[in-house]
């Protein structure tokens, strides 16, 4: 039987009114209190994850409902639009709308067999240390399926690109700009390397997949030079990678270095290095569309099965079991960015529908 009555729209409004861009403590208190009021005993682990479990009376699968409570800065205050049909504010769709929907499913679905775990992370927008602890820590989660809450417009996203980042460092030799031939201009050496970045995927990339399409490789920042009258000895270029299977972070780093070194001028040094992180990079994932979890959630929501457009912590969990990304709201609409934007919003009806879909999908698998 369901644990308790729960109003996802009331919780959602309180959550959006609660700032969580600098610290998640107040938002976590709201979540913990809501679970306790519903008769569920939550716990907060050493990484700041909020966890709660419901168990059935018989053997069955273990499902995990996951999302995050942190938001990007700055805080955007709660507001209503369209006579209350729309909620605006930071986190309204990323990811407090999905959180409200997952809570509705967690508290509302019958769990007659197996186990249902709610696992809410505190730092998805930064380091993902909480999710890394859940996936790779000393006592990792092990499940038969994961639903990760993000704004998908009620579609069931069974695949997603990964995201890597790093820095290309080009080194030469400083010289007086009046005698440029006496040095090696690292900035001039950059030109063939930028062209090589554009040809990397044709030559060494993982290819184009039927679900995620082609990977992207983009030079995004540049720093170099000390003075206008000096030939620059060092130039650094930031590079953003959106990956597709089967590419891994380490494999990408090796392949890009090999590719760039073949294009570099003989007198210039070239090295690409991934950014150092506390946690693994979010690699691409893909779950078969005929997995019972995918079919259950798609049947309950009526949404399309497709790929997700951004990297998420689903990457960590997909290494363990079939994983989908699902929730109310959109990353962007016809007017532009929604998630992470000043105009972030979600439709209240979609929060309700998403909660009902999660509840019904869980019920079909654990009821």
What percentage of the chain reaches a pLDDT higher than 90?
Answer: 96
Q: Is the pLDDT of residue 145 over 60?
A: yes
Q: Is the pLDDT of residue 107 over 70?
A: yes
Which sequence spans correspond to the domains of the chain?
8-160+284-366, 162-274
pLDDT in the model for residue 209: 83
pLDDT in the model for residue 197: 98
Look up tokens 């009114």; give the residue: 17
Per residue in 178-234, pLDDT (tens digit) is 999 999 999 999 999 999 999 999 999 999 988 899 999 999 999 999 999 999 999
Q: What's the fold here for domain 8-160+284-366?
A: Aminopeptidase (3.40.630)
- Quickly state the pLDDT bin for 4 (edges 50, 70, 90): low
Q: Is the pLDDT of residue 54 over 70?
A: yes
- 182 three-class SS: helix
Q: CATH number of 162-274: 1.20.1250.20, 3.30.420.10, 1.10.10.2520, 3.30.70.360?
A: 3.30.70.360
Per residue in 291-302, pLDDT (tens digit) is 999 999 999 999
pLDDT in the model for residue 211: 87
Per residue in 64-102, pLDDT (tens digit) is 999 999 999 999 999 999 999 999 999 999 999 999 999
Q: Is the pLDDT of residue 2 over 70?
A: no
CA torsion 31→34→39→43, rounded to 10°?
20
Residues 6+ apart with CB under 8 A from 232: 172, 174, 185, 186, 187, 224, 225, 226
């Amino acid at each position: 039987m369901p644990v308790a009555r729960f109003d996802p729209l009331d919780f959602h409004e309180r959550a959006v009114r609660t700032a969580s861009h600098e610290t998640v403590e107040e938002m976590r208190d709201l979540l913990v209190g809501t679970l306790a009021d519903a008769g569920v005993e939550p716990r907060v682990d050493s990484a700041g994850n909020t966890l709660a479990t419901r168990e059935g009376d018989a053997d069955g699968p273990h499902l995990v409902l996951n999302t995050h409570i942190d938001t990007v800065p700055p805080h955007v205050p709660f507001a209503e639009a369209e006579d209350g049909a729309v909620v605006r504010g930071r986190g309204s769709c990323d990811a407090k709308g999905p959180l409200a929907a997952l809570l509705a499913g967690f508290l509302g679905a019958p769990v007659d067999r197996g186990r249902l775990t709610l696992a809410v992370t505190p730092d998805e927008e930064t380091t993902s240390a909480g999710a890394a602890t859940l996936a790779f820590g000393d006592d990792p989660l092990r499940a038969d399926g994961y639903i990760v809450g993000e704004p998908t417009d009620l579609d069931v996203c069974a695949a997603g690109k990964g995201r890597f980042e790093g820095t290309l460092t080009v080194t030469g030799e400083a010289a007086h700009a009046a005698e440029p031939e006496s040095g090696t201009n690292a900035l001039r050496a950059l030109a063939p390397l930028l062209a090589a970045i554009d040809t990397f995927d044709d030559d060494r990339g993982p290819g184009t997949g039927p679900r995620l399409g082609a990977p992207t490789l983009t030079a995004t920042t540049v720093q170099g030079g000390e003075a206008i009258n000096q030939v620059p000895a060092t130039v650094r270029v930031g590079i953003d990678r959106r990956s597709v299977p089967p590419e891994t972070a380490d494999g990408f780093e090796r392949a890009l270095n090999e590719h760039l070194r073949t294009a570099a001028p003989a007198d210039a040094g070239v090295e690409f290095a991934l950014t150092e992180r506390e946690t693994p990079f979010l690699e691409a994932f893909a779950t078969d569309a005929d997995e019972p979890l995918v079919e259950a959630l798609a049947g309950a929501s009526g949404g399309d099965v497709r790929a997700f457009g951004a990297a998420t912590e689903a990457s960590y969990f997909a290494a363990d079991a079939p994983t989908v990304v699902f929730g109310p709201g959109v990353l962007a609409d016809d007017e532009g960015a929604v998630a992470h934007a000043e105009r972030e919003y979600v439709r209240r009806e979609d929060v309700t529908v998403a909660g009902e879909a999660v509840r019904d999908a869980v019920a079909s698998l654990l009821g």
